[in-house]
Structure 1
């Protein structure tokens, strides 16, 4: 006789309950009490809150392959560039950079490498987008257009963009396409308006199977050394099957936020949903609208499109201090416990800055931000004589819920400060990816793991690659995993770039990434590498996210859910749910590795108590989790 145990993970109000699928992998982190924080002397060393990553597993499978080179580090140093991309339908990884160095060609050529075997081998070719123009291109972004249903590289296009210059300064932007052998080169050049210092036309470059192509620029007005941020420009294009090129719009779409402090935005990102219809432009900054700027600190400034980038509107204001995930991990603003105010750190916000925040869009069209977030804390209870204390730096996945609210999950602690190479700051290069269908999202970053190297390394001078994943449907997430510890490239993963999508092989998710080895100075030639083995397994998604940060608008509809009875059981069991008013409710059952094994489809239920009967005839003996769904509310 088999016996089945069902676990109901309940969240009925703001109360937080933690229930892991795998009891041997329970969440290691415990929230720090506010009292313990305030007892600390501000001169005392504060140790990071570590979400103990499983760095001991599969690290030796990580390998590195030289795939390209550049004349100097300035071909790929910007984290905003699209350097690595993927085409899951063709099992393709693509890498694009400014050429030169040991692989040949010049710094005015574009070198593109692609793989169709999970990064085991690469094909290389050169594009000369500016040949005969007299211009010099810089900071290129590269992506691949793969028509719907196609698997042959003969029918694909490389799409590229970036700013160009001449001996006198920045001139404008270039964008174009070519075949995957360097032929059929078509490049458009746009000259800057007189007020523009530079348009970095390399943010979020993406090409969809439908033919839609998008890339954004961060527009800077003024002159070198004295310029202000003036919003973004989005250049849209459409594949032309008759000419086998991209037809670009005559004029870019301009997005101009009003900022409290001009020039104070950073970490620009543009990302789109899997079908390409929904997109977001996001950066961190201080908004001039008081509704969006409650505390005068850097928060996300987000614009959204629902028509393939033609029009963009600002998303509704939201008070991020309401997120319970921040309250569990960040320190209060003052000693009287008045508020925990999260602060997105960028290059303007602190000397210990972060140049990159990751972003992606899930299957439901909801934006996710892999944010470097901190708070400030003062021992003084009033508004005068604040004495601020340092606190650990955290990564969160901060994401929309689709009903106007946001949520957040703690990912891991950033363990080191930026490392300075020549005049360039090397941060953790936080990035996000998703599966092709957007059902899973991933955060990947490079940090010096002080658990392995010790606390003598205070800057990011020996970075390893870490990754973390979140399942949109089951709300299961992984532990953060150090994938390069103890490997041949342990502590040698600089200038990380991460693909916008992952590749799936059976129950494995491969995150395509690249790193770069520099010379002694920033002007020496560099070598670029593809790193294989940055993977997560389906079985790694074991932790349950039922820590709801904000009560969704319809959360009050689900008044109560009782534990199933009998439990354990064989045969059938019953779950009772009480509704405050009519609602569409469904029930799903998941096994210990996160697979959905039983479902009662959504049904329209009225006010009162309702019973769900679960038949275990086809379930193996084991532990299962029940998920009740009402809109954005999961119980």
Structure 2
């Protein structure tokens, strides 16, 4: 239907384009900067009026106040992870700064916990100000439940974030307590870098959790650091690993005004519940691999050993071949002019908008039951294929929301293959900072569509959650209503878009959702905490935190069938189909992948080497070993007999002398 409409209206929009001020979110947000220092110094100013809409209907859901804080700044930073759900304990935990009507210092951290799907809450876990002037800020929080434990008091709350004394950022905190509030373990090392605060997400499992920070060169972010936080049996709590992983690329550099931009933004990391397998990624562009280096796409790293080693994947050259994507985004203007009545000839240049001027959302992710990453992000089509025009967009193209995921197969470039599922069209514009009425008079705070993504406890269902305004109320997202859409990737079924609060003129701002949804019988319950900016109109004022009760998805809602993309056209060759390490040797992706009875890899050696191949499962257990002995320099094919392996995900590690490369393969 979309392509038919485009044919009919091509004359109406081919000239309706705009040159965005670059494709990324306001450029100063990519630069090195302190984070809301004014909130910690207690600055304020005249309050601008914020009028609550009068067309608010009766609420469709119940919400309960579960806590307060001295201001909003600890909650509104999207990459923080502040709501966690633990399916084994049926527990939900919300981590927030204290203060406000419910008391406590705004430098304290409180963990509100529920064991009955959010109906009742306790306040047993409190982390008070340390040493008189070490104030907690910007918290992440997660529940660690030891293997086999069914007693909540024996589980742990782990929190992390930065500490300030009011004059600067002095320490990081990696603190833990039992869920009954006992056995505090306090760890406050110095930050890795000035203003580079380890507060991007918190994920993992099995006593191993991970957070991220960004390093800058004084102006632009140049790499990410991933740190592991380990459960310490002796301390009966958590301690941070002093060693970190550094992730960087040969970033595209391009002059813009008086700046030279390094193209990376919207960093995030997500780890599996085994505590070893995980991903890190950003939206960005590399200097290599023209022409996809001039458009923002996901750039991904993957680890299977807790960050000791990482596989770096190059930008995919196949996005424009995916029918699930091209059925939605707009094609290039020239192809519309050349072939106005022949959609099969249209060309596409997808642009991943997460964090751009179009939509101020970051792009969160989860890992599904097959170990594949799912990223919730927005994508639009570029106006032109020309390198000088890739940052021109159609002025009236809608912003499309997608679940973007790896399939477990490989593409024509030997890189992990991707696909997408269309989630919804975002119907309103973001609230830009400059236009926001949520302000103390000098520092207005805008908001996007509050993207969140979660999985069912068995990780077969992926749930996208966001908030958008009914366009009959406003064209800007001033009255966000809570929405969700769920995808079952085992049965390939989906729900339609679910609006939990239709027609309300909603007040659901800065929603934060856990990585997991919980189960109530066969139903899924989405744990979500939000604030109502209309309650105070001022981010420096005390805030109330609301838990949205009974956001329920039932099995009967899965009425739609989803399919994998049909591949149309050829991938753009990036000239990459091997993973190299220090130029000593390279290892190809196994072929075929997925494999049934046999698969093959190619190893290219630059010197004579003793070569071995070890196959492990998702638990890290060794299931096969192939010792090839001493091989001469050059290219060698190694056959792997997979007939005795059960279906699932495996990893093969090729070692040549003292160097190793690990890659993933799928057995059907």
Q: TM-score normalized by structure 1? A: 0.74
Q: Would you say 1:268 and 2:278 are equivalent positions?
A: no
* Equivalent position of 1:344 in the other structure: 352
* Counterpart-to-counterpart distance in 2, 1:392 and 1:507: 35
* Counterpart-to-counterpart distance in 1, 2:129 and 2:204: 21
* Counterpart-to-counterpart distance in 1, 2:517 and 2:452: 12
Structure 1 gaps, min length 5? 1-28, 46-58, 554-581, 586-602, 605-630
* Equivalent position of 2:423 in the other structure: 411
* Equivalent position of 1:237 in the other structure: 229
* Counterpart-to-counterpart distance in 1, 2:527 and 2:335: 46
* Equivalent position of 2:179 in the other structure: 180
Aligned length: 508
Q: Aligned match of 1:499 in 492, 514, 528?
A: 514
Q: Would you say 1:508 and 2:514 are equivalent positions?
A: no
Q: Would you say 1:468 and 2:480 are equivalent positions?
A: no
SS in 1 for 2:209: strand
**C-alpha displacement at 1:425, in angstroms?**
1.8
CA contact (8 A) 1:471 1:477 kept: yes
Instruction: Note closer, same or farther for the CA distance 1:524–1:42 as it changes in structure 2 (3 Å cut).
Output: farther
* Counterpart-to-counterpart distance in 2, 1:552 and 1:62: 46
Q: Aligned match of 2:546 in 529, 540, 545?
A: 529
**C-alpha displacement at 1:521, in angstroms?**
1.4
* Equivalent position of 2:201 in the other structure: 204
**C-alpha displacement at 1:161, in angstroms?**
0.7
* Equivalent position of 2:563 in the other structure: 546
**C-alpha displacement at 1:498, in angstroms?**
0.8
**C-alpha displacement at 1:290, in angstroms?**
2.4
* Equivalent position of 2:651 in the other structure: none
Q: Would you say 1:36 and 2:8 are equivalent positions?
A: yes
**C-alpha displacement at 1:393, in angstroms?**
0.5
* Equivalent position of 2:496 in the other structure: 479
**C-alpha displacement at 1:41, in angstroms?**
4.1
* Equivalent position of 1:616 in the other structure: none
CA contact (8 A) 1:362 1:438 kept: yes
**C-alpha displacement at 1:274, in angstroms?**
4.1
* Equivalent position of 1:214 in the other structure: 210
**C-alpha displacement at 1:168, in angstroms?**
3.2
CA contact (8 A) 2:204 2:272 kept: no
Instruction: Note closer, same or farther for the CA distance 1:372–1:380 as it changes in structure 2 (3 Å cut).
Output: closer
Instruction: Note closer, same or farther for the CA distance 1:583–1:179 as it changes in structure 2 (3 Å cut).
Output: closer
* Counterpart-to-counterpart distance in 1, 2:391 and 2:100: 54
CA contact (8 A) 1:408 1:549 kept: no
Q: Which structure 2 residues correspond to residues 126-145 of structure 1 after superposition, within 5 A?
A: 126-128=125-127, 130-132=129-131, 134-145=133-144
* Equivalent position of 2:637 in the other structure: none
* Counterpart-to-counterpart distance in 2, 1:32 and 1:425: 36
CA contact (8 A) 1:281 1:304 kept: yes
- Superposed CA offset, 1:341-370 (max 9, x none): 1111244x32x3323222111011101111
Greater Cα offset, 308-317 or 501-510: 308-317
**C-alpha displacement at 1:179, in angstroms?**
2.0
**C-alpha displacement at 1:537, in angstroms?**
1.2
* Equivalent position of 2:310 in the other structure: 312
Greater Cα offset, 383-392 or 258-267: 383-392
* Counterpart-to-counterpart distance in 2, 1:536 and 1:389: 35
* Equivalent position of 1:438 in the other structure: 459
SS in 2 for 1:102: helix
* Equivalent position of 2:341 in the other structure: none
* Counterpart-to-counterpart distance in 2, 1:275 and 1:138: 28
CA contact (8 A) 2:354 2:377 kept: no
**C-alpha displacement at 1:218, in angstroms?**
2.9
SS in 1 for 2:408: coil
Instruction: Note closer, same or farther for the CA distance 1:328–1:239 as it changes in structure 2 (3 Å cut).
Output: same
- Superposed CA offset, 1:312-339 (max 9, x none): 2212431222222221111112222562
SS in 1 for 2:117: coil
* Equivalent position of 1:424 in the other structure: 445
**C-alpha displacement at 1:389, in angstroms?**
3.2
* Equivalent position of 1:259 in the other structure: 251
* Counterpart-to-counterpart distance in 2, 1:60 and 1:202: 34
* Counterpart-to-counterpart distance in 2, 1:147 and 1:86: 15
Q: Which structure 2 residues correspond to residues 90-169 of structure 1 after superposition, within 5 A?
A: 90-128=89-127, 130-132=129-131, 134-169=133-168
- Superposed CA offset, 1:223-257 (max 9, x none): xxxx3213221221222334311132122222223
Q: Would you say 1:360 and 2:366 are equivalent positions?
A: yes
Structure 2 gaps, min length 5? 18-57, 254-260, 337-345, 410-415, 571-594, 599-641, 644-665
* Equivalent position of 1:285 in the other structure: 284
* Equivalent position of 1:619 in the other structure: none
* Equivalent position of 2:575 in the other structure: none
**C-alpha displacement at 1:144, in angstroms?**
0.8
SS in 2 for 1:186: coil
* Equivalent position of 1:596 in the other structure: none
* Counterpart-to-counterpart distance in 2, 1:220 and 1:230: 5
Greater Cα offset, 380-389 or 355-364: 380-389
SS in 2 for 1:108: coil
* Counterpart-to-counterpart distance in 2, 1:245 and 1:99: 23
Q: Would you say 1:398 and 2:404 are equivalent positions?
A: yes
Instruction: Note closer, same or farther for the CA distance 1:301–1:317 as it changes in structure 2 (3 Å cut).
Output: closer
CA contact (8 A) 1:274 1:437 kept: no
**C-alpha displacement at 1:583, in angstroms?**
5.8
Q: Would you say 1:246 and 2:238 are equivalent positions?
A: yes
* Equivalent position of 2:62 in the other structure: 63
SS in 1 for 2:148: coil
* Counterpart-to-counterpart distance in 2, 1:382 and 1:257: 22
* Equivalent position of 1:620 in the other structure: none
SS in 2 for 1:539: helix
Instruction: Note closer, same or farther for the CA distance 1:169–1:242 as it changes in structure 2 (3 Å cut).
Output: closer
* Counterpart-to-counterpart distance in 1, 2:388 and 2:543: 52
Q: TM-score normalized by structure 2? A: 0.70
Instruction: Note closer, same or farther for the CA distance 1:525–1:157 as it changes in structure 2 (3 Å cut).
Output: same
- The structure, 1 or 2, with the larger RCO (C-alpha pairs under 8 Å, 6+ apart) is 1
Q: Would you say 1:370 and 2:376 are equivalent positions?
A: yes
RMSD of aligned residue pairs (Cα, Å): 3.3
CA contact (8 A) 1:357 1:429 kept: no
* Counterpart-to-counterpart distance in 2, 1:62 and 1:72: 25
* Counterpart-to-counterpart distance in 2, 1:75 and 1:149: 34
* Counterpart-to-counterpart distance in 2, 1:415 and 1:471: 25
